[in-house]
Amino acid sequence: MGGGLPNFLLVWILVLALLCYCHKIGKLIDKGTTRLFAILPVICIFLVLPLYISVFNLRALSSFFLSWLANFKLLLFALDQGPLSPQPVPLSLPHFIALACLPIKIQQNPPPNLSPHKVPRKGLSTPLKYFIKFLLLVLFGYMYTKEEYIHSKIIFLVYVIHIYIGLEFILAMVGAVARAFLGIELEPQFDEPYLASSLQDFWGKRWNLMVTSVLHPAVFNPVRSLFSRFMTKKWTLLPAAIASFLVSGIMHELIFYHIGRRKPTWEVTCFFLLHGVCLTIEIVIKRELNCSWGLPRVVAAPLVVGFVVATAVWLFMPTVVRCKIDVEARMEIIAFINFVKGVYIYLKNVL
């Protein structure tokens, strides 16, 4: 399954061809079971394609983009729902391909009095915030070079933050490129999750919003509709929320399998189920106490983020370590820092 960059290019050429097929299917076959069966082979292929990419980072990103996001978008497309089925005008082929295989979503109903390039972008970090996060990555790189002197739990904590910043940088760069080439305004991928005032706020409105926008119509709404036959409507969101977290956990297990090619231990699924249960408890407490208020953000945010980080170190990070994702990321940052040092020394000698 090796092949390096040529294999990566071949995989994505196949992806483009399959998405062209799906776009054509959308024109030829009405929504429903027939369209689903026509698209199902593509979904199955996307589940295994990342295994044929040997470059670590490219395999990880391809797994997230294809096996998870693209597959759920295609499932919704089979039912004429989701981001690939805007109404009333169908997507052009370039837009269809970009929205299917990239973690982006077209911004809905932008303010009419502003040009596309002046639309306020809620949740998008300012250059200053990106610069601060870049400095944090540099600091983490320095810490990785001295990790023999630092407690392993602190290194774990640093890497949890590293995952968030790295993921935000990658998704922001993908979004910027897509925005430039497609000429459309996109929804933000993150909305400063470290400011979350509750677990609902963290998972529903701030963390990895592309995943939320897919899970809501693909899992949350169908489960809620199913349980509405057995319980009152106001309580159906509890099993729907847990089901969404369960599916998220299973898809994370698939991504880690693609990355490390190891059998899942289900710790990551337990992480998401734990948060699903805690989130439903939070909902029940608010509903029973009829709470329209909460703790001040300055108090709530550290509690929420602290809980997320602590449970991630406990249940999420062991799988990261087994798949050696932390080693790869540390090596990349250290290599980047050494590269910057080399450039600095060279320029200093030349000038």
Q: What is the dihedral of CA 297, 298, 300, 305, to 10 degrees?
A: 110
Q: Is residue 197 within 8 Å of 295, Cβ to Cβ? A: yes
DSSP 289: T
Q: Burial-class residue 339 by CB neighbours within 10 Å (0-12, 13-18, 19+).
A: exposed
Grade residue 246 by pLDDT with cuts at 50, 70 and 90: very high
Q: Is 207's pLDDT higher than 70?
A: yes
pLDDT at 310: 92
Q: Is 48's pLDDT higher than 50?
A: yes
Interval 80-100: pLDDT, tens: 998 898 877 788 999 999 999
Q: Taking the CB of residue 209, how many other CB atoms lie within 10 A of it?
A: 21
Q: Is 72's pLDDT higher than 80?
A: yes
- Give the global pTM: 0.85
Supply 345's token pair.
């020394």
Q: Which residue has the higher pLDDT, 120 or 90?
A: 90
Of 84-88, 137-141, 231-235, 305-309, the range with the highest mean pLDDT is: 305-309
Grade residue 120 by pLDDT with cuts at 50, 70 and 90: very low
Q: Is 320's pLDDT higher than 80?
A: yes
> Considering the chain, what percentage of its residues have pLDDT values greater than 90?
44
pLDDT at 344: 72
Supply 53's token pair.
């990419």
Q: Is 50's pLDDT higher than 50?
A: yes
Q: Where are the alpha helices (DSSP H) in the chain?
A: 4-28, 33-48, 56-62, 71-78, 93-101, 127-145, 152-182, 199-201, 209-215, 221-227, 237-260, 267-288, 297-311, 317-322, 325-350
Residue for token pair 């005032």: 197
pLDDT at 2: 44
Q: Is 110's pLDDT higher than 70?
A: no
pLDDT at 199: 93
Grade residue 301 by pLDDT with cuts at 50, 70 and 90: very high
Q: What is the mean pLDDT of the chain?
A: 85
Interval 158-177: pLDDT, tens: 888 888 888 888 888 888 88
Q: Which residue has the higher pLDDT, 37 or 289?
A: 37
pLDDT at 339: 72
pLDDT at 54: 85
